[in-house]
A and B are shown apart, each in its own frame.
Chain A
Amino acid sequence: MEGLMRWLKMVGRNKALLLMVLPGAVWFLLFCYLPMPGAIIAFKDYKFSTDGFLASIIESDWIGLKNFEYLFKTEDSWIIVRNTLLYNAVFIVLGTTLSVIVAIIISQIANKKMAKIYQTGMFLPHFLSWVIVSYFVFSFLSVDKGVLNQFLTFIGVDPVFWYSEKEYWPYILVFVNLWKGVGYGSVIYLAAIVGIDKSYFEAAMIDGASKWQQIRKITIPMITPIIVIMFILAVGGIFRADFGLFYQVPRDTGALYPVTNVIDTFVYRGLKVTGNIGMSTAAGLYQAVVGFVLVIVTNFIVRKINKEQALF
């Protein structure tokens, strides 16, 4: 009773600040926390009831892990997990490497005006939606009008039906992803390079170290901690795919699903196309739980390396 009184007193004293968090808190409740218990659909044979959301959930029968069993029996479950993990692994390794290289080169360019112009150009793709990017890609890959097929015809090679031949798509998707992300990704490393104490470089110059030696012996070691942190944090998100890349860029083409279907597109199609709500929810929950564990584990590792950089 006394505790409650104290609590109410606290509420009273923090009235204004509580009012400030109220709209946000309501939003989190409606759009984030209300759906969470909804994930129990994964353990039910979901049937839509006209009496609303709660009735639909309550009236649907419990079926235990059946949805998960179906999910893992399908060939898709293996393909989507493989695609998600492999693509993300390649994106992380190549993306980090290229971003660091670009950051180092930009930091070496003496003409600051040009460096800024280059950077502005490199930023552009980040600001465009995947829909726009898919149109860009189409201007290259269109079977009858695309630039690539014009070139192939020009050198006397048969044109390729890009949107129906799946063996090219792993390369295309990796290329497009790097094109969109490397410029923006380099920002954080460039900021780290700029933050290095200048006296290191000055001392090295006095000792006669070349630029190349400075990069190898000062720049790279100094930014290694941030590279490691960014790398580990990216690994924490390896179970989540970029829906737009895998859905828009291949134009949702069925023939390409074996190499473009990832967990996120699978969940979406289960919901909106095939209507397999139970299995789709199960796949989403599976992704959320594994993703959660990965973030916790990677954050734990980051904490061990450098407490400052950990998310929590």
Chain B
Amino acid sequence: MDNGVVVEQHTGKPNMKRKKMRDIHHLTPFWNMMSHLAIGLFSLACVYPFLFVVIISFTDEKALARDGYSFFPKQWSLDAYTYIFKTSDQLLRSYGVTLFITVVGTLLSLAIVSLYAYAISRSYFHFRGFFSFIAFFTMLFGGGLVPSYIVVSQVLHLKDTIWALILPMCVSAFSILIMRTFFKTMVPDAIIESGKIDGAGEFRVFFYLVLPISLPGLATIGLFSALGYWNDWFNALLYIDDAKLLPLQSLLIKIETNIQFILQNSAVSGGTERSAIARSLPAETTRMAMVVLATVPIIFAYPFFQRYFVQGLTIGAVKE
């Protein structure tokens, strides 16, 4: 993001001695360094844990058992990754589930949200007030988790289906708000009118005139939605028991809780039985490798899409 604060070029001689003559456009060298240091360190602290997990995933399992997690492991190894790609059908399957819900969910969400937002952004839509209200009221009040759960599982019968991962989060009033603002400011009624004079219907105008000039807005809400689907584990926690439908994030939770379960019961259950289960669980480096694989797509994608997220955040903050 260009934060555009005008900082004029330093034109004065750099070694003017008298304090009064100091170039007031810049911070003093000391404070400039302190700013870089403070923000740089914070920025590093934000990235550091990910780098750490990457390093752990490339650590030799024995070295890990001996030395604990280390930023400079004594022995490196690719075993975790070769193990995953050779043996872990479940991981690939979960990758597939996550990819599927992300793509299908985002497309569905884009379709529903943009149509809805477009309609309520038109001042000549007679029922605009009513449909705006039923969308935005949901931002203020909801029936709560339990009734939603009962509706999804017992009325719509979505439990243990892929739709339980897609439908509950496919529309958000917030995205509608962003898109409505976008359509209102970027697509004046005059354009629509001109399309209509040429004899195009509402849908034709929407698909051929409005959508092409709305790509930045669609990118913003599409990315919000894709990120939401990729990172979602809550719906799976509620609705999915079938391992075939576990998305990536939930697989990571499952592995974690299974290990805890074994650790907690280690005093109770028999030794041999326990170690048999323990062996079937992925080793520590493998688990960290899975975390890396679940994160890498985001890490590589988000710097390119950053400005759309910023845009969404700032549009969302402005009314109308």
Contact = CB atoms under 8 A, between A and B. Distances in A.
Interface of A: 10, 13-14, 16-21, 23-25, 27-28, 30-39, 41, 52-53, 56, 102, 105-112, 114-125, 127-136, 139-140, 142, 144-147, 149-150, 179, 182-184, 187-188, 190-191, 193-194, 198, 201, 205, 208-211, 243-244, 248, 251-252, 264, 267-268, 270-272, 277, 280-281, 284-285, 287-288, 291-292, 295-296, 308-312
Nearest to B143: A35
A119 B118 CA distance: 33
A271 B43 contact: no
B211 to A, nearest CB: 12
A179 B45 contact: yes
B1 interface: yes
B35 A109 contact: yes
Nearest to B120: A21
A295 B116 CA distance: 25
Contacts of B156: 30
Contacts of A244: 233-234
Nearest to B249: A131
B277 interface: no
A52 B155 contact: yes
Contacts of A135: 53, 252, 256, 287-288, 291
B278 interface: no
Given A52-B154, A194-B4, A268-B145, A120 B306 contact: yes
Contacts of A120: 43, 303, 306
B208 interface: no
Contacts of A133: 49
A272 B252 CA distance: 19
B171 A28 contact: yes
B234 A243 contact: yes
20 contacts: A13-B126, A17-B119, A27-B170, A30-B151, A30-B156, A35-B147, A35-B148, A37-B147, A102-B39, A108-B5, A124-B302, A131-B233, A132-B249, A150-B68, A190-B1, A201-B6, A205-B24, A205-B25, A244-B233, A277-B146
A211 B147 contact: no
A223 B135 CA distance: 31
B35 to A, nearest CB: 5
Interface of B: 1-7, 24-27, 31-32, 35-36, 38-40, 42-47, 49-50, 52-53, 56, 64, 68-70, 111-113, 115-116, 118-120, 122, 125-127, 131, 134-136, 138-152, 154-156, 167-168, 170-171, 176, 201-203, 206, 227, 230-234, 237-238, 249-250, 252-253, 256-257, 260, 284, 287-288, 291, 294-295, 298-299, 302-303, 306, 309-310, 313-314, 317, 319
A28 B135 contact: yes
Nearest to A283: B144
Contacts of B26: 110, 211
A56 B154 contact: yes
B252 to A, nearest CB: 5
Contact of B115 (A23, A53, A149): A23
B32 A20 contact: no
A10 B250 CA distance: 48
A23 B112 contact: yes
A109 to B, nearest CB: 6
Nearest to A111: B36
Contact of B53 (A121, A139, A205, A309): A139
A292 B140 contact: yes
A122 B257 contact: no
A116 B1 CA distance: 7
A122 B134 contact: no
A93 B36 CA distance: 24
Contact of A38 (B143, B168, B171): B143
Nearest 9 CB-CB pairings of A with B? A284-B144, A38-B147, A16-B202, A35-B143, A121-B43, A24-B116, A129-B231, A35-B147, A136-B49
Given A27-B171, A183-B46, A21 B295 contact: no
Contact of B119 (A20, A123, A194): A20
Contact of B2 (A112, A264, A271, A277): A112
B126 to A, nearest CB: 5
A62 B260 CA distance: 41
B69 A109 contact: no
A309 B135 contact: no
Nearest to A294: B140
Contact of A25 (B53, B131, B145): B131
A127 B42 contact: no
A25 to B, nearest CB: 7
A132 B136 CA distance: 31
B112 A27 contact: yes
A112 B43 CA distance: 15
Contact of A34 (B149, B155, B257): B155
B145 A271 contact: yes
Question: Which residue of B39, B138, B144, B167 has the most chain A CB atoms within 10 A of its CB atom?
Answer: B144
Contacts of A117: 43
B4 A108 contact: no
Contacts of B149: 271
A280 B119 contact: no
Contact of A106 (B25, B39, B232): B39
A85 B2 CA distance: 37
Given A27-B167, A139-B49, 7 more contacts: A107-B3, A131-B250, A147-B52, A187-B313, A210-B24, A244-B233, A295-B140
Nearest to A40: B147
